[in-house]
Amino acid sequence: MQEEIITSVLNGRDTVALLPTGGGKSVCFQIPALVNEGICIVVSPLVALMTDQVNTLKKKGIKALSIPGGISFQNLNILLENATYGNYKFLYLSPERLNQELVQNSIRKMNVNLFAIDEAHCISQWGNDFRPSYSNCSMLRFLHPLVPMIALTATATPEVLADTVNQLKLEEPSILKNSFVRKNLSYQVQFVDDKLYKIEQLLKLNSETAIVYVRSRKKTVEISSQLNSLGIISDYYHGGISSEEKYTKLQNWLQGKTKVMVATSAFGMGIDHPNVRYVFHIQLPESIESYFQEAGRAGRDGKFARSIILYNDYDKVLIKKQFIDSRPTTSQLKQLYRTLSNYFQISYGEGEFSSHSFNFSEFCKKYQLNSILTYNGLTALDRLGVIQLSKQFGRKSILKFIISSDQLIKYFEQNPTISLIGKTILRLYGGIFESPTSVKIDLVSSKTGQSVNQIIKVLEKMKNEGVLELNLYHTDATITFIVPREDDKAINLVSKNLELINIKKEKEVKSVLKYVEDNKTCKSLQLVTYFGETTGENCGICSVCASQETMPSNKEKKIIAKNILQLLEENELTSRKISEKLTFTETKIIVVLRHLQDANKIKINSKNEYYTL
């Protein structure tokens, strides 16, 4: 659908692009923006995604910038001036930024050729990622009434789609969407107690690429370690590892050095691996929307692939506990907001767009907070536009120079490799001789062009040589305060929306439970119906279809035969071993084995093992 969407935008029409994950949504606004004179304003709630796309565009020689959190008024003004007069093609910003008068006035002066609203379902109160701050997007209409707008999303039910069009004030939009049917993807749900054994059955002695999704950082490390002990080469990935580690782990997986990646939902960007054969969920996903996106990372090459949910009764209890029983009330959210403001020493009326490194575990431990309730509270504050929570690894240091400035200058002269980093810290942080000062390692890294690890080595060397005092901390997030601190008043303004978010979350969990428990309706049909497709038909290859049909369909015979032949090219196997490696019923596998024998494509030896001719 990309060409149709691009053509619609180039014709000046408001457009809604509804493409499933991996459908190439960004190209749909980037090409029209490059074709036409002027700048494209891209609104996105995802800080990491904005950074990723800006970096990708820059590498291609295309001028793009984003407005990060926590920058000074002066720097914000400079960035906006560059966007207005610097011949830039793309400006990425969060919906919260549209509240600022300076940003609005600057956009009004820009030669805008297109407004692109990414993750547009966030504007709808019925969307799975509803963010009230997205209502700010409609003001773009008043700033440039004649500029077309494109709304992009991968997951929108009919109800969400209609509400999105209404909220964005799109005028007679061209609504273009691809079918959600993935004919090569087998959606499977299996009730099992020993999930690891099931994964081992499918992946042992197989060179298939796979993703195993879990919902906690601790679980990624634990499951990866267990798989490695079983001889299945795997690694783990989550938001709490450094950017260097993320890059290395991703590259190893993309290049086939690591076959299985055990990950949280943080493993979402830049993983366009065409031949992922399995996506496992060994804990229930929090919504159908998130499951559909993660499942869609399998089989992007068009070949047969499987997305498998492995669950048991405890998982049903756990998902209710995490997402329904631990939803924050208005009073709990007020208390959390006050605690957070005190933690960062933000005065009343202050703090707007200030950013702070954040260690979640340290915060919960200091105030003896329930971790699940606190995490859900922070997520709610993020969606309500009170804070912006960026879940990413970082480091901060508390340091103080303990030698005189004259001695320090001489020290730098004798150590030129240290001089660049040391002098940069002096320029960035005044008063560092007088009192211990919090220093952001990532900021020093960006200013010097040195890696985080190199800066840490230099700081530790200076500490060991008696130049400075140093306390080094890990952080797993950055929190940006979007509004000035106003305690209860700030929460009262969004309390109605909190109720909507809590109601929506309850509906999402119920939809997931209904999906895994319905063993009579085709799994593919359940999913596409959820997203409003009414013309779908039974897929013939999901766990429900496979269990309902004793005899395989012609389509299924071809798929099973192909998988059997691939297995037998590597090893001679019994029918039981073949059944363990494939997810089709044993009855269907035996039918196909006989068919292949009759066609003289395979034979059986004295050990009852099949082999190819």
Q: Is residue 355 part of a domain?
A: yes
Q: What is the pLDDT of residue 339?
A: 96
Q: What is the pLDDT of residue 261?
A: 96
Q: Are residues 25 and 142 in the same domain?
A: yes
Q: Are residues 127 and 29 in the same domain?
A: yes
Please check whether residue 94 is in contact with residue 45, taking contact to mean a CB–CB distance below 8 angstroms.
yes
Residue 491 pLDDT exceeds 70: yes
For helices 217-229 and 195-203, the axis angle rounded to 10 degrees is: 50
Q: Are residues 216 and 298 in the same domain?
A: yes
Q: What is the pLDDT of residues 295-328, one digit of tens each?
A: 989 998 888 999 999 999 899 999 999 889 999 9
pLDDT band at 205 (very low <50, low <70, confident <90, very high): low
Q: Are residues 430 and 341 in the same domain?
A: no
What's the mean pLDDT when you consider all of the chain?
89
Q: What are the CA-CA distances from residue 262 to residues 189, 360, 367 (Å)? A: 19, 22, 31
Q: Are residues 154 and 6 in the same domain?
A: yes
From 177, 195, 219, give the residue that closes a domain: 177
Most confident of 302-306, 332-336, 495-499: 332-336
Q: What is the pLDDT of residue 236?
A: 95
Q: Which DSSP string do the residues of 132-192 spell out, in sequence order?
A: GGGGGGGGHHHHSTTS-EEEEES---HHHHHHHHHHTT-SS-EEEE-----TTEEEEEEE-
From 152, 177, 202, give the residue that closes a domain: 177
pLDDT band at 549 (very low <50, low <70, confident <90, very high): low
Determine the average pLDDT of the residues in 258-276: 85
Q: What is the pLDDT of residue 389?
A: 85
Q: Are residues 348 and 218 in the same domain?
A: no
Most confident of 34-48, 236-250, 543-557: 34-48
Q: What is the pLDDT of residue 22?
A: 66
Is 328 in a helix, a strand, or coil?
coil
Q: What is the pLDDT of residues 39-63, one digit of tens each?
A: 999 998 877 678 778 988 999 999 9
The residue segments making up the domain with residue 599 are 549-612
Distance separating alpha carbons of residues 556 and 540, to the nearest angstrom:
7
Please check whether residue 595 is in contact with residue 562, taking contact to mean a CB–CB distance below 8 angstroms.
no
Helices (H), 467-494: 488-492
Q: Is residue 25 part of a domain?
A: yes
- Beta strand 305-311 with 174-177 is unpaired
Residue 536 pLDDT exceeds 80: no
Which has more pLDDT, 356 or 195?
A: 195
Q: What is the pLDDT of residues 405-423, one digit of tens each?
A: 899 999 999 988 899 999 9
Q: What is the pLDDT of residue 105?
A: 95
Q: What is the pLDDT of residue 365?
A: 92
Q: Is 433 left (phi over 0), alpha (psi -120 to 50) or beta?
A: alpha
Burial status of residue 319 (CB atoms within 10 A of its CB: 0-12, 13-18, 19 or more):
buried
* Phi and psi at residue 354, to the nearest 5°: -90, 140
Q: What is the pLDDT of residues 8-25, one digit of tens each?
A: 999 999 999 998 766 688
Q: Is residue 270 part of a domain?
A: yes
Residue 204 pLDDT exceeds 80: no
Helices (H), 230-329: 243-254, 288-295, 313-323
Q: Are residues 351 and 496 in the same domain?
A: yes
Q: What is the pLDDT of residue 606?
A: 79
395's tokens: 């480091």
Determine the average pLDDT of the residues in 155-182: 89
Q: What is the pLDDT of residue 70?
A: 66
Helices (H) and strands (E) in the chain, counts: 26, 21
Q: Are residues 346 and 399 in the same domain?
A: no
Distance separating alpha carbons of residues 222 and 1, to the nearest angstrom:
41
Q: Is residue 511 part of a domain?
A: no
Q: Is residue 591 part of a domain?
A: yes
Q: Are residues 54 and 120 in the same domain?
A: yes
Residue 206 pLDDT exceeds 70: no
Give, for 364, the enclosing helix (H) or strand (E): helix 360-367
Residue 288 pLDDT exceeds 90: yes
Q: Is residue 20 part of a domain?
A: yes
Q: What is the pLDDT of residue 465?
A: 93
Q: Are residues 12 and 49 in the same domain?
A: yes
For the chain, the domain total comes to: 5
Q: What is the pLDDT of residue 269?
A: 63
Q: Is residue 594 part of a domain?
A: yes
Which has more pLDDT, 169 or 607?
A: 169
Q: Are residues 364 and 410 in the same domain?
A: no
Q: Are residues 361 and 343 in the same domain?
A: yes
Is 272 in a helix, a strand, or coil?
coil
Q: What is the pLDDT of residue 110?
A: 96
Q: Is residue 29 part of a domain?
A: yes
Q: Which residue has the tokens 């906690």?
A: 216
Distance separating alpha carbons of residues 545 and 519, to the nearest angstrom:
9
pTM of this prediction? 0.73
Dmax (CA) of the chain = 90
Residue 270 pLDDT exceeds 70: no
Q: What is the pLDDT of residue 371?
A: 92
| CATH code for the domain in which residue 158 is found | 3.40.50.300
Q: What is the pLDDT of residues 92-139, one digit of tens each?
A: 998 888 988 999 999 999 999 999 999 898 888 777 778 788 888 989
Q: What is the pLDDT of residue 83?
A: 94
Q: What is the pLDDT of residue 550?
A: 65
